[in-house]
Structure 1
Amino acid sequence: MATGGEPIRDGETLNVDKAVEAGLPPVVNTTNPVDNDDSTFTSGAQDGVKKMEATTMVWTKSHLIAAYVLMWFVTFVDAMQQGTSGALTPFVTSSFMQHSLTAYTGIMANIIGGVIKLPLAKVLDIFGRPQGFLIMTGFLVLGLIMMAACNGVQTFAAAQIFYWVGYNGISYTISVFIADTSHLKNRGFMYAYVSSPYIVTVWITGPMATAFMTGPGWRWFYGAFVFVTLISCIPLVVLFWLNYRKAVNAGLIVPTKSNRTLVESIKYYTIEFDVGGLLLLMGGLVFFLLPFSLFSYQDGLWESPLVISFFIIGILMLIGFVLYEKFIAPKTFIPYQLLLDRTVLGACVLSATLFVSFYIWNAYFSSFLLVVSGVNLTEATYVQNIYSIGSCFFSLIVGLLIRWTGRFKFIALYFGVPVTMLGVGLMIHFRQPGVPIGYVVMSQIFIAFAGGACVITEQIAVMAATDHQHVAVVLAIEGMFSAIGGGIGSSIAAAIWTGMFPKKLAEFLPAESQGELMNIYASLPTQLSYAKGTPTRLAIEMAYGESQKWMAVGGTTVMVIGLVSVMFWRDINLKNFKQVKGRVI
């Protein structure tokens, strides 16, 4: 542990002179940082960063340990919640007779959930880490409430937006917490530690999904986790808030008011958060990606007026975003000097391609396991969660390897990306009817171990290229690329599925089942209602195999871009790399 001075005893209040006498840093005025002596804090850091650095200077070793225990617990609850929700989603969409929209429900949620990290980074840097964490908890809880009460796929999709904004925001804020409280050489291992609950929850989510589906129903699952989420998140907020107050009492920070009027505050934060650019970027991405999943429902398919207009609006909004940021925006939320850094940009491109690939091959995977492999819901979640358990387990090894060598590029270049390509490529052949499920499991293990290496190294890469002030921003940019990649991947998967699966069903179904084509296409329970070995079930399995083959092809091909992007990384040595202040790991 590194420490920035003896911690202040609870309840002790120090003025400037007493703080200096006690060996603590001088008072910091958070409103006028230019007037401060920044030797104690990161030079030019915003208020939220300084508040966090002050917090780490006064908290005790036991509070630091408690923070990591609570972060692990929050991740445990989120992982259990997200894994179970993923297993239940096909049944939610099928309950409204729209199983084909399973991938569609998450497209906008993934995009907005990732892009929202940029303004969230501003919240964390300007107001503070606990404040941002609390806001994201509110979004997640609201999403759960909406899903519990939804009456259609449209409402469920809207609820997914709130849910994923909150889920991604909580995960992102915890990532920033870890960056604030750990040395860079140890950070990979600490990220792996906080992600380790996925090793445990993989055995819980399947039985939990089964229990709710055979018991009270999926609505009760979402309702129950409203309370579980609040119970898990609030203690972490309280811990950071108490230590922040301790820093204030110690004289490290003197909170002051801005004296701005309401109108002036609105104008100030509109500029600080670059609201115009954010709306153009999110709107452009949503309009551009939605047609991939909606085209099959239009009379003219790709030539329908709705699809064409969405593409045009999306492209114009994205062009408008670039022009607005370059010529109009008083303050841009993406620092170009960081984005153009080859290590940062390369890591972001890898992040995007990983998510494009994952969301292409993973879409409808649980449905494939149920229908084609013939496993039950619990067994399907075990297979589908091999990625979670394997990547989290192997990331612990990668974190230790980075700490030992001080290097990270070689892990991604010679193991992470190539083995990911191998695993996804094998699924082209193995994700077919009649293939033993053991081969599918083997492919998943390859992807899982390689994925753990890629995720840890890409996060370390973006942070190694900057200082503490910009850690939240570069992590937000990396998260934005991940979300965009997820949105693109989901859109491509939906396009392949909606364009190929019903066509192949029509081709393979026996004459007596042709009248049920749309019901089979729309409902997972209907697909499962035909017994294994019957002509109709065989036809459904063949249609799955054809569709899944091309999803695996797409997921493999896109990883070539990821391999090239890693080649551009700088080979940075993390040993003796000092980035954070205070009592840290």
Structure 2
Amino acid sequence: MRFRFPRTLDLGLDRGKSSDVDGPESAAGQRETTLASHEIREKEAAVAGDSDTGDSGSEKVDADAQRGVQLAEAVTEVWTRRDLILAYVLIWIIEFVLGFSSGIVGTLTPYVTSSFAMHSLTATTGIISSLIGGIFKLPFAKIMDIWGRPQAFILMIASITLGLIMMAGCNNVKTYCAAQVFYNLGYYGIDFALTIFIADTSKLRNRSFMIAFASSPWLAVTWCYGPAANSVLDTMGFRWGFGIWSIILPITCAPLCLLFLRNQRKAIKLGLIPPRPSRGTPFQTFIYYCREFDVIGLLLISAGLALFLLSFSLYSYQKDEWRSPLIICFIIFGGLLMIAFGLYEKYLAPVTFIPWTLLRNRTVIFTYIMAASIYLAWYIWDAYFFSLCIVLFRQSITQASYIGNIYTVGSTFWALVIGVAIRFNGRIKRYALFFGVPMTILGVGLMVHFRQPNVNIGYIVMTQIFIAFGGGTLVICEQMSVMAVSRHQNIPAVLAMEAMVANIGSSVGLAIASAMWTGIFPKKLAENLPASAQADLATIYGDLTVQASYPPGSPTRDAIDKSYGQTQRLMLITATCLYSITLVSTLFWEDIDVKNMKQRTKGLI
């Protein structure tokens, strides 16, 4: 689709006024309309004063856009600055509660499966629910575009609440797995909806900071949820640990929902949106929504992704692993369905998920390649990082957890710094190319040397800080690059596709890490273990507790440490080489200046 010149605001207001005059009932409605009109005129004057920066939009509501996009564009015309500041405060609170609850839910999961004497299914339930939650972003992006942002947000609140209620009341692991699916759908959906709201209401030059601001609760959440989960288990038990969040989360989200709906109603009342056309009979309405949702395309890509990603997650549960007929079928048919999705979108789809011209944009293509390479390399080196801290560096579980959280805290903090920097110098490519990627490569490359026996743990902490600063830069620049080159109505789709690509990279990275570990570590143990410990090789290989139980300085512990170092060295070299893809793909981005480029939507913050 191409942009069309929008209707003038005056025409929209004329329609709103005439509808009020026709009935005798609404003096209050007229006052509300007049007040809202005055607010819009004030905002237009403020934006006009900013026009020299190139950050104002020349259009208001895209007449060709889908209904949800039209609502979002119209609502930006009626937001007051007070309401918008309130909305961002509520977003911060919601993200804090969401992160806090997710940490507790993740901590309690092993205790739930153990209570049903099925602890071994802990990983399986997580794999299935996370996979579905990740893939759901694709159809969820369509829901937001067609039905509207508030409606989609409310749907996700209902999903996460239902999941928590099912967790609290489950009596078997199957019910708990289903509950995790609903929970993850809601969790990923709420987080995604808040990101899209930020994209709808922020200027490009400020958007990176606002996205970082919304993520900043993790600076506190990271340290809070562990003690809270222990307290829950020691007092009320896991059922109330879930149940209390089924009350807190919807209450926390309710004010933002009401704020969304209030401003959406105001925009509709002002006539800023063309009336919803009749879809004809119920069957015609059904066909219309199937076409607008791109149902065939979404089925193809969702089924293809599910099969392809499940193969990487479930191969270790098969007797023949990668040679299993089931895994081979998953990979082949998953790949074919994803290819079919591309062909269908290009040649047959009446309404495409993402315009084909956008998928040919070099910045979009190479951002997706960059995202895949980042997550691919990350999971190769990070998959056994916790075990490394426990065994090789003699850290306690608590200390190892703190070291593992350096990335979360450091990247969240640094994203705020980068957001401020982009506000004043909008060349996002330069931040990624000359700082983000080099810092990441430096951190991972240094670990090739430092992840060895007899190295002080302080050096590992240093490398994690480097990687955190690099990652905080890349995550922000990665999202900003695809949003800057996209039309407003395509932003949910391009971000959903980015999440899909990241999921693929993560799954492949975990599979490579697992294959390298299972192929290299036992061989190195066989080479390094003293003759007295050779009989225990299988036990040592398979049990982290056994590995850490041998006293430091003993021949067996030295052999285990040496095997860890040799295996990790190869995994780190592999990851460092893969980051070269990240560097090259970033090099091919357009040199976009989000500070001065003309914005496709009128952001208010």
Matched residue, 1:202: 222
* Match among 348, 351, 363 for residue 343 of structure 1: 363
Matched residue, 2:290: 270
Gaps of 5+ in 2: 1-8, 17-25, 42-57
Q: Residues 146 and 292 of structure 2 are in contact (CA less than 8 Å); yes or no, is this contact kept in structure 1? A: no
Matches within 5 A, 1:180-199: 180-199=200-219
Matched residue, 2:576: 556
Q: Which segment is superposed worse, 214-223 or 363-372?
A: 214-223
Structure showing greater radius of gyration is 2
- Whole-Å separation in 2 of the counterparts to 1:22 and 1:303: 69
Matches within 5 A, 1:189-338: 189-212=209-232, 221-253=241-273, 256=276, 258-338=278-358
The amino acid that maps onto 1:559 is: Y
- Whole-Å separation in 2 of the counterparts to 1:67 and 1:21: 21
Q: Which segment is superposed worse, 466-475 or 500-509?
A: 500-509
- Whole-Å separation in 1 of the counterparts to 2:233 and 2:368: 38
- Whole-Å separation in 2 of the counterparts to 1:186 and 1:45: 25
Matched residue, 1:28: none
Q: Residues 61 and 583 of structure 1 are in contact (CA less than 8 Å); yes or no, is this contact kept in structure 2? A: no
Matched residue, 1:13: 29
Identity of matched residues, %: 48
Matched residue, 2:51: none
The amino acid that maps onto 2:193 is: T
Q: Which segment is superposed worse, 395-404 or 139-148?
A: 139-148
Matched residue, 1:385: 405
Deviation of the 1:472 alpha carbon = 2.1
Deviation of the 1:445 alpha carbon = 0.4
Deviations, residues 148-181 of structure 1 (Å, cap 9, x unaligned): 5678887766655444333222222111111111
- Whole-Å separation in 2 of the counterparts to 1:582 and 1:574: 14
The amino acid that maps onto 1:565 is: S
Q: Residues 312 and 511 of structure 2 are in contact (CA less than 8 Å); yes or no, is this contact kept in structure 1? A: yes
Matched residue, 1:437: 457
Q: Aligned pair count?
A: 567
Deviation of the 1:342 alpha carbon = 0.8
Deviations, residues 248-278 of structure 1 (Å, cap 9, x unaligned): 3344347647354443333222222222222
Matched residue, 2:442: 422
- Whole-Å separation in 1 of the counterparts to 2:116 and 2:385: 20
Deviation of the 1:87 alpha carbon = 5.7
- Whole-Å separation in 1 of the counterparts to 2:334 and 2:344: 15
Q: Which segment is superposed worse, 14-23 or 166-175?
A: 14-23
Cα 1:289–1:41 change in 2 (3 A) is: closer
The amino acid that maps onto 1:76 is: F
Cα 1:531–1:577 change in 2 (3 A) is: same
Deviation of the 1:465 alpha carbon = 0.7
- Whole-Å separation in 1 of the counterparts to 2:127 and 2:236: 28
Deviation of the 1:570 alpha carbon = 0.9
Q: Residues 39 and 80 of structure 2 are in contact (CA less than 8 Å); yes or no, is this contact kept in structure 1? A: no
Q: Which segment is superposed worse, 483-492 or 183-192?
A: 483-492
The amino acid that maps onto 2:213 is: Y
The amino acid that maps onto 1:131 is: Q
Matched residue, 2:4: none
Cα 1:467–1:157 change in 2 (3 A) is: same
- Whole-Å separation in 2 of the counterparts to 1:99 and 1:550: 32
Cα 1:324–1:455 change in 2 (3 A) is: same
Any idea what SS the aligned residue of 1:466 has? coil
Q: Residues 61 and 272 of structure 2 are in contact (CA less than 8 Å); yes or no, is this contact kept in structure 1? A: no
* Match among 336, 357, 382 for residue 377 of structure 2: 357
Matched residue, 1:34: none
Using CA pairs under 8 Å that are at least 6 residues apart, name the structure with larger relative contact order, 1 or 2. 1
Matched residue, 1:403: 423
Q: Residues 293 and 494 of structure 1 are in contact (CA less than 8 Å); yes or no, is this contact kept in structure 2? A: no
- Whole-Å separation in 1 of the counterparts to 2:342 and 2:538: 45
Cα 1:525–1:227 change in 2 (3 A) is: farther
The amino acid that maps onto 1:80 is: F
Q: Which segment is superposed worse, 167-176 or 504-513?
A: 504-513
* Match among 61, 75, 84 for residue 64 of structure 1: 84
The amino acid that maps onto 1:384 is: G
* Match among 28, 47, 54 for residue 74 of structure 2: 54
- Whole-Å separation in 2 of the counterparts to 1:332 and 1:181: 25
Matched residue, 1:369: 389
Cα 1:467–1:456 change in 2 (3 A) is: same
Cα 1:222–1:512 change in 2 (3 A) is: farther
Cα 1:231–1:23 change in 2 (3 A) is: closer
Deviation of the 1:438 alpha carbon = 1.5
Matched residue, 1:179: 199
* Match among 560, 581, 589 for residue 569 of structure 1: 589
